[in-house]
Structure 1
Amino acid sequence: MKRLLIASIVAMTLTGGVACAQDAFQTPKAGTIKLDVRLTGIVPDESGSIRTAAGAATGLNVKVNDSFVPTIGLEYYVNPSLSLELIAGSGNHKVKAVGGATNVEVLELWHVPPTLTAKYHFAPDARVSPYVGAGLTYIWFASEDGKNGFNVDLKDDFGYALQVGADIATSGPWSVNLDLKHIAFETDANINFGALKSKVTLDPWVASVGIGYKF
């Protein structure tokens, strides 16, 4: 799936570049609103050791799988170079406890991570317009389904987001969007009502490719 996402990004970039070679395109102005619909890969860079309530090591660590989901971004241009974007979607992950001969699923979860970033566009009038951004995210664990007799409770909290990407204008108000975020996020896991615990660093990479439309 990771290779499929990367291949899709490359293919859409090349296709967009060829298709838009001769077409007029719309540039953003103050007050422009852009909607992006994306395919997003959420790839956690997780770490977290599982300990007893007294703090003793169990030899087990947390492992979280990747997730591929649709997301949307709603962007408002303060001026052609500066915009604010709200990203919404949800992710589904399976969480395992691993170590030694142990590899057991303990949790399946859904999370909702609304993210607000401020973005600076280096070349807003160009067909290929790269940008950088930074902002905040709030990760809400909407569903936590314990597996194999485990009960796991994760703490909702804020995180920080860094962002790079590019808008590739195609024709009129349409564009292709490529976006990469890195989100710094840490949560406390309470396992089996406090018998076990873990401070889990998730720090996911969030890679997206999608289609945008300016209003």
Structure 2
Amino acid sequence: MSRVPQKLSAAILLAPALLAASVTAQAYETGDVILRAGAVAVDPQENSGKVKLDGTATDLEVGVDSNVQLGLTGTFMLSDKLGLGLLAATPFKHTINLNGVGELAEIKHLPPTLTLQYFPLGSGSALQPYVGAGLNYTTFFSEDFKSGPSAGGFNDLSLDDSWGLALEAGVDYMLTDNIVVNAAVWYADIDTEANFKVGDIPGKVSVDIDPYVYMVGLGYKF
């Protein structure tokens, strides 16, 4: 017997068992709530404008480092294929770097993100990949310049909050009827303007932070 018929015969024999397993899973249905927790990393892909002092552009630009925190996500299933998703986390802390100077400041932010999620496989599959699109709101706080020589007289730092588009892709896998393992990635359009002073001279710089956000964790379906 050729290999193709052998594989076809094996698939036919396995199909009832696989079908039974998928039907038993009954992963997601209308009204289900899935809560997930895990490690979430924000990896900025920043594009900095030139630092301006008293309205005059300099050759200085800024950079933003990555940070990892506890991530929390939730999904409310509007149907067996559509869900409303929310991303939250403990506050992220980032170091702001100034080219040619070094570490200059530290900031914190929270990036709650609301998305409409699409689950293509429906309720009969234990494997639940999904994609989503929606809005990100990022609020900045605890903006402080570091002390020491690199601070160079910088003071009075504040960053504008941001609204922007968010995209996501992820996958859940049902380990049991209620426990899931999850991996997900988001892209968020985060643009801000930082205002500050150097001595009494006003300064500002616009930065497109635009991070990728990665998360792995466990969840529970209610």
Normalized against structure 1, the TM-score is what? Answer: 0.83
Q: State whether structure 2 residue 111 is matched by structure 1 residue 113.
A: yes
The residue type paired with residue 50 of structure 1 is V
Distance in 1 (alpha carbons) for counterparts of 2:54 and 2:113: 33
Q: Quick one: which amino acid aligns to residue 37 of structure 2?
A: V
Q: 1:27-85 CA distances to partner (integer Å, 9 max, x unpaired)?
A: 1111101100021110000011212232x321111110000111101210001100001
Aligned partner of 2:177: which letter?
A: G
Q: Aligned equivalents of 1:82 and 1:115: distance in 2?
A: 17
Which structure's CA Rg is the greater one? 2
Deviation at 1:127, TM superposition (A): 2.1
Corresponding residue for residue 155 of structure 1 = 160
Secondary structure (helix, strand or coil) at the match of 1:158 reads strand
For 1:171, which of 171, 176, 180 is the aligned residue?
176
Bigger shift: 23-32 or 172-181?
23-32
Under a length normalisation based on structure 2, what TM-score does the superposition of the two structures give? 0.81
The alpha carbon displacement at 1:106 in A equals: 2.1
1:45 is paired with a residue whose SS is: coil
2:12: which partner in 1? none
- Cα RMSD after superposing both structures: 1.7
2:193 to 188, 195, 199: 188
Q: Deviations 1:7-43 (Å, cap 9, x if unpaired)? A: xxxxxxxxxxxxxxx8964511111011000211100
8 Å CA contact retained: 1:94, 1:105: yes
1:150, CA displacement in angstroms? 2.3
**In the aligned structure 1, how far is the partner of 2:26 from the partner of 2:145?**
49
The structural deviation recorded for 1:172 is 1.7
Is 2:214 aligned against 1:207? yes
Task: Using the aligned pairs only, state the percent identity.
Answer: 33
Deviation at residue 119 of structure 1 after TM alignment: 0.2
Given that 1:180 and 1:207 are in contact with CA atoms closer than 8 Å, whether structure 2 keeps it comes out as yes
Task: Count residues in correspondence.
Answer: 190
Q: Is the 8 A contact 1:26 1:173 kept in 2?
A: no
1:142 maps to 2:168: no
In structure 2, the CA distance between the partners of 1:146 and 1:27, relative to structure 1 (3 Å rule), is: same
Post-superposition offset of 1:146:
1.6
Give ranges in structure 1 of 5+ residues lacking alignment.
Answer: 1-21
3-state DSSP of counterpart to 2:61: strand
Counterpart Cα distance in 1 of 2:25 and 2:93? 36
Q: Which runs of 4+ in 1 moved over 3 A?
A: 22-26
Match of 1:39 in 2: 39
3-state secondary structure, aligned to 1:123: coil
| 1:102-158, Cα deviation, whole Å (9 max, x unpaired) | 132221111011111110001132222111101111111121122224222100121
Residue 53 of structure 2 corresponds to residue 52 of structure 1: yes
